[in-house]
Chain A
Amino acid sequence: GAVVSQHPSRVICKSGTSVKIECRSLDFQATTMFWYRQFPKQSLMLMATSNEGSKATYEQGVEKDKFLINHASLTLSTLTVTSAHPEDSSFYICSARGSGRGAPYEQYFGPGTRLTVT
């Protein structure tokens, strides 16, 4: 149980275009979803936290107009990278947290999306 999927797993796009990444909790209701970015050989960097039905809370330094997050249901959150540039190339990982599952406040991670902007 506690499976989180992410789609697509890899995407290559041209500079200036937008890319949408989906994160789904398959067998539980995710009250909170998190979006992380990870550059090579670095740790996870939290970008934003979203609760179903409310606006996402962005971490300092993350542009909310560039990284649009929607958490419309208890099983789906989306991250849209708008007007992508090569410096946005990274590994984007979502995680989900549901009440009553696993260790207290444990986050279940999706498999990640490798974004390459050319």
Chain B
Amino acid sequence: GQNIDQPTEMTATEGAIVQINCTYQTSGFNGLFWYQQHAGEAPTFLSYNVLDGLEEKGRFSSFLSRSKGYSYLLLKELQMKDSASYLCAVMDSNYQLIWGAGTKLIIKP
């Protein structure tokens, strides 16, 4: 079966760095997405990785290792507004998005 694993909840301090991991087992791979979702709102796109390596975009970076079925989202200089759920999603061989359950990130002052 297809499976995406990510931690249920993480806590970090304002101004610090946090890494949210995602491991996956899917039938085929056509890219991995990270989305941010604030409570009661729809997801917003953060990043897309299809090749191995690190993609940096401002305070957020995303890493992919296809051989390990592993990705992480790195958030630097955390701000209170970064408190949200972070969803990892993998596009399988049928170009369907397989979603993880999301990681709720709590930022403390």
Contacts and interface: CB of A to CB of B under 8 A. Distances in A.
Contacts of B30: 104-105
B45 A103 contact: yes
Nearest to B91: A105
Contact of B42 (A42, A46, A102, A110): A110
Contacts of A49: 96
Interface residues of A, number: 19
Contact of B102 (A43, A112, A114): A43
Which among A44, A46, A104, A109 has the greatest number of chain B C-beta atoms within 10 A?
A: A44
Interface in A85-118: 91, 93, 102-112, 114
B40 A114 contact: yes
A105 B42 contact: no
B48 interface: yes
A105 B45 CA distance: 12
Contacts, number: 44
Which among B95, B97, B99, B102 has the greatest number of chain A C-beta atoms within 10 A?
A: B97
A1 to B, nearest CB: 12
B43 A103 contact: no
Interface of A: 42-44, 46, 49, 91, 93, 102-112, 114
25 contacts: A43-B100, A44-B99, A46-B97, A46-B99, A49-B96, A93-B42, A93-B43, A102-B45, A103-B31, A103-B48, A104-B31, A104-B48, A104-B50, A105-B31, A105-B91, A105-B95, A106-B48, A107-B97, A108-B45, A109-B43, A110-B42, A111-B42, A112-B41, A112-B42, A114-B40
Interface of B: 30-31, 33, 40-45, 48, 50, 87, 91, 95-97, 99-102
Given A43-B102, A93-B42, 14 more contacts: A43-B100, A44-B87, A46-B97, A46-B99, A49-B96, A103-B31, A104-B48, A105-B30, A105-B91, A105-B95, A108-B45, A111-B41, A112-B42, A114-B40
